[in-house]
């Protein structure tokens, strides 16, 4: 059984328990509309992480590509460019360490 916790800056928390792809238990219900920019922001950051594992291009190029496809609202919610580049480079390093069993 897995779980997912969502915290909207201390305002609201929800937890669900899942088995495979089925929800088996909820501790509370949603009481707000979904934040589309927050979801899009998470998707953009995941896209950057995926590119870090699959590409050998520079951090600047990969982050720039991801930002070009992001909406203005999504881009406003993302961390600063320098932070995104550091995150990209950190993900590349972790991937290489795992793939080649390099010491930390």
Q: Which domain holds residue 90?
A: 36-99
Within-domain flag for 104 = no
8 and 40 fall within a common domain: no
Average pLDDT, the chain: 76
pLDDT in tens, 25-74: 877 766 667 778 888 888 888 888 888 788 878 888 878 888 888 888 88
Structure tokens at 44: 């953009």
Q: What are phi and psi of 8, to 5 degrees?
A: -95, 75
In percent, how much of the chain has pLDDT > 70? 78
d(CA 56, CA 51): 9
pTM of the model: 0.55
Within-domain flag for 51 = yes
Q: How many domains does the chain have?
A: 2
What's residue 98's pLDDT? Answer: 74
15 and 48 fall within a common domain: no
Within-domain flag for 11 = yes
> Which residues share a beta bridge with 5?
15
């Amino acid at each position: 059984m897995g779980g997912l916790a969502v915290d909207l800056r201390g305002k609201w928390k929800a937890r669900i328990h899942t088995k495979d792809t089925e929800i088996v238990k909820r501790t509370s219900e949603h009481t707000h509309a979904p934040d589309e920019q927050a979801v899009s922001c998470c998707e953009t950051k995941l896209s950057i992480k995926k590119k870090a594992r699959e590409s050998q291009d520079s951090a600047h190029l990969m982050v720039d590509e991801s930002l070009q496809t992001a909406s203005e609202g999504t881009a406003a919610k993302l961390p600063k460019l320098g932070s995104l580049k550091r995150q990209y480079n950190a993900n590349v390093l972790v991937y290489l360490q795992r793939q080649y069993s390099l010491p930390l």
